[in-house]
Every structure is written in structure tokens, then in C-alpha cells.
Amino acid sequence: MRSRTIAFKLVVFTLSGTMAIFVSAFACVYFSSKASMMRYVEMNARNATHAAAYQIESVLRGIEKVPLNYAALLTSGDCKPAALAMLPEQMVSTNPEIFGAAIAFEPGASGPGSLYYAPYCYRGKNGGLKNVMLGNESYDYFTMDWYQIPEQLGRAAWTEPYYDEGGGNETMATFSVPFYKVLQGKNKFQGVVTADVALRGLKQIVSSTRLNKSGYSFLITRNGVFVTSPDSTLIMTNSIFSVAEEKHSALLRRIGRKMIAGGEGFAALPKGLLYPGKCWLYYTPLPSIGWSIGIVTPEGVMLADVLRFSRMVILIGLLGVCLMALIVMLIAKRISKPIKDLSATTLEIARGNLNATLPDIHRGDEIGALARSFEDMRVALKDYIENLTQTTAAKERIESELKIAGRIQMSFLPKAFPPLPGKTPVDIAARLEPARQIGGDLYDYFLLDDDHLFFTVGDVSDKGIPAALFMAVTKTLLKGIAEKGMSPSEILDKCNLELIGGNDSMMFVTLFCAILDLRSGRLRYSNAGHEHPFILRREGPLETLPIPEGFVLGVNEDAGYQTMEVELKPGDRLIVYTDGVTEAVNGAGEFYAHQNLISVLESCGSLCAEGIVSRILDSVKTFSSGVPQADDITLLAVSLTGPKL
């Protein structure tokens, strides 16, 4: 995956966090505002419904009062029917809410012989009042609801709405109040005083009652029949129950029952019942007439405010998020820019430019701290590298000096060819392989006179420069001390005393030295703490040369060196070595040891001095196979080739 920048990550993390917070806050706001909007809508609907109900009620109460008053008047007084004929007109003309009014008498109650007597006044189409007498064969008002119901109930009552064919020719509801004549303490029904209310008037009140343009309101009677509704096909022909039946809605039926039972409520309706979409219905009763008024409000319209509000919130939120992204990006850039600069500079430092100037080291924040750390690191690195350069230079100087010292050391060892003057009957070979550039081993050989060869092999304690110096001193001393006529032990004694002087560091050297008489083959030798040499006779087994006791050179004044003798015949070879040979180590940590040396020597047969030295060295190198040499290796082989000519 591609690595992203800090700015990108910061923007992503911040924005996803913000978005999550925003979405949850929005959801909270949306649902709570929706709930409060619903409460608000319900309250509005209730208020509007109550207002309409109150308005209708007051109209109806106003209408009711009129016939009630006249009925009371008629019951108490003894009015002449002839005088009564003007009463309906009086009722209608003084009460604008009343569409028509009548006083309808029982047969004979208005006077003997008359069956019908019912003066009626109503408002004509042109607005003028019309007076008619009701009652004939085609309009037998005794069978009408408005006449029968109050008679039967014995009290005032509203009729269901009806179309008054032959009367006012108008859809109306009538409030009828019975009036009586008191005969022998009993009320005798005399007729009814009626007041009509035209539904047109109520319709105006009801239809003006709605919460918004899309909503509407309706009125149903105590039987559930629609009195007013925007759908005129329902009016007077359908009831809320027939609509419920048609739509198979138990809910609407339940609501209808509650409505006609005088209940009040707020209910959600699914789409298609009273409105094409989802809607809410608030209903309340009109107690006087027993009807119920309902206000239908589409949910979409109700929630329009909430939706608008939500859209606004979302828009503000999105704008906020964009703005935030921009700000976070700027902040992130601001933060990451110094890091980028720092990174570029450190990269430059990493590539080796230790003089690169680090930016921002004066800042007080974490970047500044980081920059200062880098600055410290740069300075430390620079110092370190300068130091290292100097050290390396010094070390190289020392190395080269050591190399030169090593060359000098090697150069004052005698060379193999030409080892000795041409006619000397001696075959001699020697090799010194220092473990480091300079070593502490030594060998030397030279003629004391024509017939005497002096040779020596030594090993200075420890290694390195002190050992090399001590070796040089020893070798020089020996060269100076060894003279014709001296025995090897005398040479060692003298050399020992010379070395002891001022040897506080307790350096010492083990040394084997010998003088070979080239005429007789007599070998006289002495030893200062050195390893046993070997003699490889021309014939016979390998011999270990017995050596006299003698302490290492340079420590003890009373070392007491002794000289011993052995005879070498032509072809016999004496091999002297240092412990670098026997103490060579292989990969397993084992020593080369005497056993290996002995077996190599036993395999040498009649090899010459050089051959023996080479074979031993090869064997040691093969044995140690790559393990760094720990100690100087020195080998010297000498043999008498024959009596001097």
C-alpha cells in the first residue's frame, strides 16, 4: 500500500470523526425536531379544530336560542295562530345565521278544521325572504324528522341533514323545539318551532378551517355521514363507515366510531384513506348537534418544515465539513512542512553533508526539539567523523610505521641465499613468520671464523613493539658478544647480564644458541629456557636434543647456563623452532603440539634444510587453516654437508 502523508491521514481521521459526530447529532436533531414538530402540528390541529368547532357551535347555539325562546313563548302564552304567521319571518330576518324558520302546529292546534298550519319563512335564491305555508298532501310535515323527533323525544333536537324538497329547497339541518299547551296540569303537544341552518354556511366555516393549503377539514353527522367535505360526491351520500368499508380500513372504522361517540383524538392515517399520501387526522365533537369535525393534514406538508430544516442542517454540516477539511489540511501542511524540511535536511546529512543547516531549530515546539536533537546529532556526528578521520590517520601512520619497522626487523635477519660464503660446508635454512607486522622471535647465524658457525633461535616474551625492541636488543647483543673461543654458555651469561640491566618490565627471551665446528661436526650448545631442538639423523630415528637447564634470559643473574655437546655427521639435520609452531591452533581450538611436529619431521627422510623448513610451515598452515596466527613462528634447520674442503 502506498504510504500516505500526515496531512492526508489527519484529514481522513478528523473528517471521519467529525462526520460520525455530525451524523449522530443530525439524527438526534432530526428525530427530536420531528417529534416536537408532531407535537406542534397536533397542537395546531387541535387548536384549529377546536376553533372551528367553537365557531360552528356558537352558530348553532345562536340558532338554537331563537326557536327555544319562541317555543317557550308559545308554551306560556296564548298566541293567536293568525298572529303567529309573522313570527318565522321575524326569526329569519333578525338572525342572519338562520336560513329558514317555521312554526308547525298539530292538526287542529292552530284552529278548528285546519289540518296543516305551518307558516315558514326562508331565504330565497336572490337573498329575499319568502313566506310560505307548509303542509299539503305532498308535503305532509307530520311525517318529517324535524316534526316527529322532538314530538317523540319531548325535547328539542337537531335533525340529520336533509334536502328540504318542497320547503326551503336547500340542504339543511333543522333544530326543532316542541311547544305545549298546559291542560289540567299536563303538557299537551301543540307543535314545533324550527330553525334551519343551511349547510352551505357551515361548509364555509369548515372549509376555511385547515392547517395549510394541502389539508382540508370535514364534518360528519352523528351517523357518520359527511356533511361537508372537499369531495362533494361524499356529501350527504356517504358516511365515514362506507368509506372505511370501501377502503377495507378497520382503522378508519375505529376512528369513525370514536368520532360519532363524541371522542377527540389525533391519529396517523396510511396513504389513500382520506388523502392520497400519508396524513394525520385531528377530530373533535360538536356537542350541541352531536356531529364531529375532522382536520386532515398531509404528513409531507407537516414535515416540510422539518425536512427543510434538515436539509439546511445537512447543507451547513457539509459546508462545515468542507471548511474543516480545508482548515485541517492547512494545519497538517503547517505541521508537516517543517518535518518535510527536516527530513530533507537529515537525508542530506545522511548522504554525508555534515555541514547542512537544519531548519526550525529555534522553534519552541516538538518540531524545534526534534530539529535540535538532529542538530546535536549532526554536530556529534561531525565531531565523531573528524575524530575518526584523525584517529584513522594516526592509526594509518602507526600501521605504516609498523610496516616499515617490520621490514627493518626482517631485513636484519640473515637471508637464506647466499647464507654463507660459498664454500662453507653447511646447509642452513631459517624462516620467521611474525603473527603481527613486527614480531618478538629472532634467529641469527654467522661464522665466528672459517670453521665455526654460530647460530641461535629465540623467542621474546609477549608480542608487539616492546617484544620487537627487546628482540632487536637481544640480537644485537648476541652479535656483539659472540666471539671466537667463547662457549655458548658464556655468551648466554654475558647477554643475560646485559639484558637484566634496566629490565623493569620483566621482559625476557628464551634462547637456544650453538656453535658448530665445521671441521669436526662437534656441536656445542646452551639453552636459556627454550624448547628442545630435534636432530634428524641421516639414518636412525628422530632424536630430541637433550638440553641443559637454564633460566630465560634477562631476569635472573644466577641463571647458571651450561654448555652441552653433540656430534653431527654430514647429512644430520638439527631443527630449532619456537613455540609458535607447537602452539599453532586450528578451528577446533586444538594445538599443533609436538606430536604433529614429530610426525612431519619423521616423514622428512633426507630432505635438505630448506625442504624441512618449508614442509613444517606448510603443515602448520594446513593445520591452522585460516585461524589467525597467534604467535610468531620461527624455524631454523641446519646440517653439515661434509668436511670443509
> Could you give the angle at which helices 304-350 and 6-76 cross, rounded to 10 degrees?
170
Q: How far is the CB of 412 from other proteins (least distance, A)?
A: 22
Q: How far is the CB of 497 from other proteins (least distance, A)?
A: 16
Q: How far is the CB of 533 from other proteins (least distance, A)?
A: 12
Q: How far is the CB of 466 from other proteins (least distance, A)?
A: 10
Of 317, 152, 158, nearest in space to 223 by CA? 158
Between 205 and 432, CB nearer to other proteins: 432
Q: Is residue 631 near other proteins by the rule CB under 8 A?
A: yes
Asked whether the beta carbons of 272 and 194 are under 8 A apart, the reply is no
Between 196 and 459, CB nearer to other proteins: 459
Say how many Å lie between the first and final Cα of the chain, rounded: 92
Count of chain residues binding other proteins (CB under 8 A):
27
Residues in 495-514 at the binding interface with other proteins, rule: CB under 8 A:
505-508, 510
Between 261 and 630, CB nearer to other proteins: 630
Between 67 and 554, CB nearer to other proteins: 554
Q: Which three cell numbers stand for residue 492?
A: 648466554
Residue 301, amino acid: V
Burial (CB count <10 Å: 0-12, 13-18, 19+), residue 371? buried
Residue whose C-alpha cell is 592509526: 395
Residues in 54-113 at the binding interface with other proteins, rule: CB under 8 A:
none
Between 365 and 462, CB nearer to other proteins: 462
- Cα 521 to Cα 456, 517, 567, distances in angstroms: 17, 5, 6
Residues in 335-364 at the binding interface with other proteins, rule: CB under 8 A:
none
Of 512, 522, 458, 447, nearest in space to 484 by CA? 447
Interacting stretch for other proteins, rule CB under 8 A, among 326-334, 338-346, 357-365, 523-531? 523-531
Between 245 and 549, CB nearer to other proteins: 549
Between 324 and 465, CB nearer to other proteins: 465
Q: How far is the CB of 645 from other proteins (least distance, A)?
A: 38
Report the distance separating Cα 431 and Cα 594, nearest Å: 19
Residues in 458-477 at the binding interface with other proteins, rule: CB under 8 A:
459-463
Report the distance separating Cα 612 and Cα 619, nearest Å: 11
The residues, any chain, with a CB within 8 Å of residue 331's CB and separated by 6 or more, are 10
| Strands 573-577 vs 633-640: parallel, antiparallel or unpaired | antiparallel
Q: Which three cell numbers stand for residue 578?
A: 619456537
* Residue 134 parent element (H or E): strand 129-134
Q: Is residue 557 near other proteins by the rule CB under 8 A?
A: no
Q: How far is the CB of 553 from other proteins (least distance, A)?
A: 10
Q: How far is the CB of 437 from other proteins (least distance, A)?
A: 15
Of 301, 308, 280, 285, nearest in space to 42 by CA? 280
Between 288 and 556, CB nearer to other proteins: 556
Query: x-or-dash pattern for other proteins, window 423-462, by CB under 8 A?
Result: ------------------------------------xxxx
Determine if the peptide bond prior to 418 is cis (ω within 30°).
yes
Residue 459, amino acid: D
Q: Which three cell numbers stand for residue 577?
A: 623452532
Q: How far is the CB of 630 from other proteins (least distance, A)?
A: 8
Residues in 527-556 at the binding interface with other proteins, rule: CB under 8 A:
528-532, 549-552, 555-556
Between 174 and 596, CB nearer to other proteins: 596
Asked whether the beta carbons of 259 and 283 are under 8 A apart, the reply is yes
Between 246 and 557, CB nearer to other proteins: 557
* Dihedrals phi, psi of 625, to nearest 5 degrees: 25, 70
Q: How far is the CB of 602 from other proteins (least distance, A)?
A: 20
Between 597 and 609, CB nearer to other proteins: 597
Q: How far is the CB of 347 from other proteins (least distance, A)?
A: 43
Report the distance separating Cα 282 and Cα 41, nearest Å: 10
Report the distance separating Cα 45 and Cα 256, nearest Å: 18
Q: Is residue 579 near other proteins by the rule CB under 8 A?
A: yes
Q: How far is the CB of 549 from other proteins (least distance, A)?
A: 6
Residue whose C-alpha cell is 614429530: 598
Between 199 and 576, CB nearer to other proteins: 576
Between 18 and 556, CB nearer to other proteins: 556
Q: Is residue 592 near other proteins by the rule CB under 8 A?
A: no
Q: Is residue 630 near other proteins by the rule CB under 8 A?
A: yes
Q: Which of 559, 581, 635, 640 binds other proteins (CB under 8 A)?
A: 559
Q: How far is the CB of 588 from other proteins (least distance, A)?
A: 14
- Name the DSSP letter for residue 303: T
Report the distance separating Cα 597 and Cα 618, nearest Å: 11
3-state secondary structure of 524: strand
Compute, in degrees rounded to 10, the torsion defined by CA atoms 32, 38, 41, 46.
-130
If one counts every other C-beta atom within 10 angstroms of the C-beta of residue 420, the result is: 17
Q: Is residue 367 near other proteins by the rule CB under 8 A?
A: no
Q: How far is the CB of 618 from other proteins (least distance, A)?
A: 24
Q: Which residues bind other proteins (CB under 8 A)?
A: 459-463, 505-508, 510, 528-532, 549-552, 555-556, 559, 579, 583, 591, 630-631
